[in-house]
Amino acid sequence: NRLSMIRQGQGLAMRGARAMTAKSSSGKATWDGPRPAGYPTHVKTIASLKKEQIESVLDMAQDLKASPKKYMDALKQKTLLMLFEKPSLRTRVSLETGMHQLGGQGMFYSLADSPLGKKETIQDTGKVVSRFVDAVSMRVNSRLAVEEMTANSTVPVINALDDYGHPCQMLADLLTIIEHKGSLSGLKMAFVGDCQNNMTYDLMRTASVMGFHLTVGGPKSSDFEVEGGVIQECEALCKQPGGGAFRITHDLQDAIKDVDIVYCDSWMSYGVAAEERTERLKALLPFQVTEKAMELTKPDSLFMNCLPAMRGEEQTAAVIDGPKSVVFDQAENRLHAQKALLVSLINGFGWRPAVHNE
């Protein structure tokens, strides 16, 4: 019996050694099915997507908005991890609702009480969560966090807002413009106000990639001007076939004269200290969008703001609540555009439901 026990122990040890040297069967790709070509695509800015990919997302967004039941199982049993460092209303609600409507699940994770970036590195987190979930969205303070996550994640990562871009808002805005204008062809847009922010940068990229014209207007000050790196990036994008154009001015009337769309964003973002308000208001007030300013635009022009908005600051109440305003269409279209983006990233660009459930 003693000899038998020894031999049995030796056999277990040998099997254990073989198990330690054998190739691991772990890794989400080994048990979660095949991936579409080019997988994963990470969306750090709107320029992370090619023009044809953006057009594909917008085409799906229009279809699923018109026929949502066709897509009710598009992401069945799929999970989106939503990382939030910054406050949110539209982003969280639209992403969670969208995943539910697609048959999947959106999982909110607050970084306020998280070890991410402190006890646990973003690099390790990216590698770990890639084995649990099907996509990751991040609403964070710094572009560096998005860069680190995309460098270490093997599932798609979506920048849901950082200090460098807001691609989800861009897709919603493009969908809104197409609904109201029919197309982007020949479009002239003006963004006015604080030009040193994520919205300005991604609007510049959007115009450059999608082939329309954008004028950026804001104070001539190092506190409000576009980063040089973004200007260089957009100059290169404009040189691509079908590229758009942009220019920068420091005069409100020059910026908005005869444009199709006037766009502005909050002057007091979440990161602005209370003691800075007075100086910022003084510098930015010449770029407030008023009814008189809107008279300089085309007769059928639109007013856009990605929200939240402060009446009496970046625009007057008469403008944002007036007949040219489409701000709540923009807000709604966050839901439809993000649903289309998630389906495209997880299932592949050009994917469409094989079976209609309507």
How confident is the model at residue 19, as a pLDDT?
42
Q: Is 280 labeled as catalytic in the residue annotation?
A: no
What average pLDDT does range 188-213 have in this prediction?
Answer: 98
DSSP-derived 3-state class of residue 95: helix
244 closest CA partner among 303, 196, 187, 175: 187
Task: Give the C-alpha separation, 105 to 140, whole Å.
Answer: 21
Alpha-carbon gap, residue 17 to 244, rounded angstroms: 61
The sign one gets for the Cα dihedral 91, 96, 102, 107 is positive
Lookup: tokens for 310? 């402060």
209, two tokens:
């990639």
Query: Which of the following is catalytic: 90, 139, 213, 280?
Result: 139
Do the beta carbons of residue 268 and residue 293 sit within 8 Å?
no
Residue 20's pLDDT is: 41
Predicted confidence (pLDDT) per residue in 259-270, tens digit? 999 999 999 876
From the candidates 90, 213, 334, 336, which is the catalytic residue? Answer: 334
Catalytic residue among 53, 101, 134, 166: 166
Catalytic residue from among 134, 265, 280, 288: 265
Residue type at 137? S
The question of whether 139 is a catalytic residue gets the answer: yes
Residue 120 has pLDDT above 90, yes or no: no
> What value does the mean pLDDT take over residues 272-295?
93
3-class SS at 116? strand
Query: From CA 351, how far away is CA 345, in angstroms rounded?
Result: 10
What are the structure tokens assigned to 221, written together? 């000050």
What does pLDDT average to over the chain? 91
Catalytic residue among 101, 169, 288, 315: 169
Residues in CB range of 31: below 8 A, 6 or more apart: 25
For the residues 297-320, what does the mean pLDDT come to?
A: 97
Confidence check: pLDDT of 131 > 70: yes
Strand segments, DSSP code E, in 166-212 are 188-192
Contact 60, 340 (CB under 8 A): yes
Active site residue 336: no
The structure's pTM equals 0.90
Q: Long-range contacts made by residues 232-240, C-beta under 8 angstroms, separation at least 24?
A: 233/47, 233/205, 234/204, 234/205, 234/207, 234/208, 237/47, 237/205, 237/208, 237/209, 238/208, 240/209
Q: Given a cut of 90, is residue 198 above it in pLDDT?
A: yes
pLDDT at position 21 over 50: no
pLDDT band at residue 276 under the 50/70/90 scheme? confident
For residue 13, pLDDT over 70 is answered with no
Which tokens in the block code for residue 283? 């510098």
Half-sphere CA count of 64, side-chain side, radius 13 A: 30
| Active-site residue, selected from the candidate residues 173, 306, 330, 336 | 306
Q: Which residues, 6+ apart, have CB-to-CB distance to 223 below 8 Å?
A: 196, 283
Give yes or no for a contact between 201 and 208, defined as CB atoms under 8 angstroms apart. no
Is position 53 annotated as part of the catalytic site?
no
Which DSSP helix (H) or strand (E) runs through 346? Answer: helix 327-347
